[in-house]
Chains A and B, each alone.
Chain A
């Protein structure tokens, strides 16, 4: 196929150069120091965001993720709750490290949400609309936390606890008030969580990488009313509707848990919408000092 070579050359040659120049000029941002943003303005919100971090004590890459979760919790104090779920290969105890963080509820969550990489986290279990993903690496969390905090809460949630040190019984009361309409797919789940557990952790950033006095926080210990909780209502929920749910949980004799570091997590999630979490709340057994 013959064509007028030279005319084509001139027209398209210039066009090519313009295209290149445009892309080069407009496709690069150079950042000068300082690289770190210092002036964070907290987002005012009535929404509490739950970060579920999937981890394991033999996961050498996991401590930075735990630090990021902790940073976000501190940053928006009171509006972010962290739950650490120990599951999968990296949570398996060994002869050398026999302490077992694993629980049935953690394994069920891990399997249900198809977690097979560690560390990853879910932020209110939101699903990224473009990738369809529900769990993300740590540097993604802040983006989703910010987005969730900007949302208007659909319901209010409050947890109250009473602990009997003699019987090791925890009485839990959860109050729910709907600010918008809800559905019968809204489930309330209640978990037992413990902070400040000093145990082994592998940390690839450290030399040596074996950390024997690592402080494990926000560790999921057990469920109170099932892995995914129970339905709040058998029918659709009206705006202004309130629910009060009472539970009791007895800490088993063989558990080494320390009540002063235990807290109760309650969250409402929408089973009809990828189990996304609508609201969360927490309450310690003893007032925090």
Chain B
């Protein structure tokens, strides 16, 4: 209660300071208010829970929980002022209870000109691919590590942008223990040196540094209070190919997630692609060693991460295909991914009347081959794959329009998911999961604004070891989805996921979901009832554990 009062008070002080700054820059507050434009968006998501011991959903004493936010952005002249009010009363199941409460955790004022941008307050930022610094928000995962502090962007001439920032990261309703400093230089060579490269080539170069300060307040280790990371990157786009890469180095950063290893961190990402009409080929490799970088060396989970390294595997969106998702193992992995996209020309015997697109994708990720020197250090080499496979995915997707009204997507995938690594810190608990899935996604347009879509999915899954502790994930799954759309406003969806192959007979249960959505312009209203299976929810390769639930969900969102 007190904390909320303080947050509200803090918000008022902030607005007052903003107005003083604007006035001192010679812009009348009255002009600022009258000449501006207010925009924003909001979302209210509430769930009413039912106890469901069959799927292991917990009894929720509040019955109703809710996550809501409102973003307000006010633009006037060169200024932008924004804030976000958030309320978690209490947070939906699966979100960290530390979020409970309400207030204004995100507020900022930005001045923008051709030469310089200055932001005071909270902001998100990313340097390069994010290997040494990415501050971002992923609402569905409960991640928000905005920096609260000061940032400038400086563009003295075309093709040159320098960014500098300093601040502390958001940690739920407070700030993390560490101070973050960073700088990034981005060079667009085409703009910097006109005529140096042929018109069909585009070259970008960049370099970043990020560092954190956190006091050493314990007596076990000699800890570095300042930890620095730097990276260099390039990106070249040609007429039929592109190559880009980034190399990152992090100085000794003993922390809880690397078990206080004093090794440096090294990251290398290389991507190449070749494309021409109807054909695309891409190859990606990466080596990640000790690159878990956080502003607080004692934090674990998705809290106070300073960097983000996307997984080198395809991000599947179909429900059964995402039961076993992969997230980059920041403490060490090396992997390779290749993908070929080919469009079989239309009006051929294989391509059919409208053409057919085939995507074949393969990725494999291994642990690094390391030799331990002592308790604190080890040796490894770049791209020296170890024996332990973390993940493998072979998948093929065939999309085809059969008639003007009917199209389909067929997907087959075969996964190896090292459950020991991904869910048990590498301990020999489960072994690997071998999963194969076949998915058919069909859409039929009945009349102009009426369409029906159906998904049929099946997954065969087996685990190396016996199931020691019963869970609601293991074994074979079947899934059915039927969606009726009356464009552009109404969506009716029925889904049933069935874990018929669960090792435990009593856990062979259905997970039905019924939902209705209404969309009008930018406003979306959804009412749904269903069982949500527990497990890992991953977005962009970042995962959190979601408990099973049986709930009615109400969502209202809009932007203005």
Contacts and interface: CB of A to CB of B under 8 A. Distances in A.
B226 A132 contact: no
Interface in B207-241: 209, 211, 213, 217-228, 230
Contacts of B9: none
A116 interface: yes
A209 B183 contact: no
Q: Which of A1, A35, A146 has the most CB of B within 10 A?
A: A35
Contacts of A29: 224-227
Contact of B162 (A3, A8, A16): A16
Contact of B174 (A12, A116, A133): A133
B97 interface: yes
Contacts of B222: 31, 34-37
Nearest to B215: A143
Give the dominant DSSP class at A's interface.
loop
Contact of A27 (B211, B252, B255, B300): B211
A35 B183 contact: no
Nearest to A28: B228
A116 B97 contact: yes
A3 B424 CA distance: 59
A139 B256 contact: yes
A23 interface: yes
Contacts of A287: none
Contact of A143 (B211, B218, B262): B218
B378 to A, nearest CB: 13
A19 B183 contact: yes
B427 A30 contact: no
A37 B162 CA distance: 40
A248 B154 CA distance: 72
Interface string B298-326: 11110000000000000000000000000
Assign chain A's interface to a size class.
35 or more
Q: Which of A5, A16, A28 has the most CB of B within 10 A?
A: A28
Contact of B224 (A24, A31, A143, A147): A31
A263 B49 CA distance: 41
Contacts of B221: 35-37
Contact of A208 (B97, B211, B428): B428
B171 interface: yes
A288 interface: no
Given A140-B298, A143-B217, A13 B156 contact: yes
Contacts of A13: 156
A27 B228 contact: yes
A213 B268 CA distance: 44
A137 B299 contact: yes
24 contacts: A16-B162, A23-B182, A28-B226, A29-B227, A30-B224, A30-B252, A31-B262, A35-B254, A35-B260, A37-B219, A96-B469, A114-B97, A130-B168, A132-B172, A133-B174, A139-B218, A139-B260, A142-B219, A142-B220, A146-B217, A206-B427, A207-B428, A209-B428, A209-B429
* Pairs A-B, 8 closest by C-beta atoms: A28-B228, A131-B174, A27-B211, A204-B427, A29-B224, A143-B217, A142-B218, A204-B425
Interface of A: 1, 3, 5, 8-9, 12-13, 16, 19-20, 23-24, 26-31, 33-37, 40, 58, 60-61, 75, 94, 96, 114, 116-117, 128, 130-133, 136-140, 142-143, 146-147, 203-209
Interface of B: 3, 96-98, 100, 113-115, 154, 156-157, 162, 164, 168, 171-177, 181-183, 185, 209, 211, 213, 217-228, 230, 251-252, 254-256, 260, 262, 297-301, 376, 424-429, 468-470
